[in-house]
Amino acid sequence: MQIAMTTAFSPSSKPVELSGTTGKIYPNVSLAPHTSYRVGGQARWYAAPRNWDELQGTFEWFQKQDMPLMLLGAGSNLLISDRGIEGLVLSTRYLRHRRFDEETGRITVAAGQPIVSVAWQAAKRGWRGLEWAVGIPGTVGGAVVMNAGAHNQCAADCLVSAVVVSPDGKVETLTPEDLNYSYRTSALQGGQRLVIEATFQLQPGFSREAVTATTQDNLWKRKSSQPYDKPSCGSVFRNPTPYAAGWLIEQLGLKGYRVGDAEVSQRHANFILNCGQAKAQDIFRLIHHVQEKVQGHWSLLLEPEVKILGEFSTL
């Protein structure tokens, strides 16, 4: 399997070199630059394999250790503790390739490819089916794992299969039925199986101008209603049907409410922003404050869409 992309990286101390590959595992790496919130402590170990051999080498090293594993894509749906993460953090963001099959209308994409770039590439070919994904700030792997969606569509609507690998090296090809999809979740969440590529069924043969126009319109709608000028994780809470989480929060006058440098967005109340020097603990406390207020007034517990990792204080 060919997956390739290189990146520069500055370790904080001497890395472990993986036998038989050019891959490395780095100790004590700050995770803040690897998340869209720009907060979080250090990973005890961090690996970002650039190809299949390096990924296998990383898993072989991990199997010899006694430590937990955390999987990381673009870090766009994560809140990582200021105390950091014990064990190995394995990032897929540099595993990238894509292949369009003109005969079947299918596109196969590596896990680290930004879903936004795939949406634009499909649109420019006149292939329909991913116009909704143009504003999703994550990778293909992350979109598959969390069943990402927008504009009343989601990954489950067009996913054909996903190839996943376990830390023991077992490779499986899973269908949407295997993934047990529901709203913003799948059977892969909370587990250690890593998505390495996914195949989507699209609809070729449409006007490039028309599909591009729809994609652009979807992007404009998101930018006009959601904040993109400050670090965030996207939507913080799942929408509790039939309500929109942002509407529930807004009705309580919580727009602009702050804990430290973490703020409920003035533009969209389901976004919490890092307004400069926020700590992960500030964001965590603000999430809980919003939950308490909504539950007290509406008798609804907002369930976080953002994945919260590491140790936090509830005080």
* Residues known to be catalytic: 184, 235, 305
Count CB neighbours of 1 within 10 A. Answer: 14
Closest CA to 143 of 170, 121, 122, 118: 118
Q: Quote the CA–CA distance of 4 and 171 in Å, as a whole number.
A: 19
Q: Could you list the beta-strand ranges (E) of 81-192.
A: 85-91, 98-101, 106-110, 149-150, 153-154, 159-165, 171-174
Q: Quote the CA–CA distance of 97 and 3 in Å, as a whole number.
A: 6
φ, ψ at 216 (rounded to 5°) = -65, -40
Q: On the CB side of 198, how many CA atoms lie within 13 Å of its CA? A: 27
In sign, the C-alpha dihedral spanning 205, 208, 210, 211 is positive
Q: Quote the CA–CA distance of 314 and 281 in Å, as a whole number.
A: 9
Lookup: tokens for 103 = 């005969």
Q: Which residue has the tokens 């140790």?
A: 311
The answer to whether 70 and 62 have CB atoms below 8 angstroms apart is no
Q: Quote the CA–CA distance of 143 and 308 in Å, as a whole number.
A: 17
Name the amino acid, one letter, at 309. L
State the chain's maximal CA–CA distance in angstroms: 59
Lookup: tokens for 227 = 């904040």
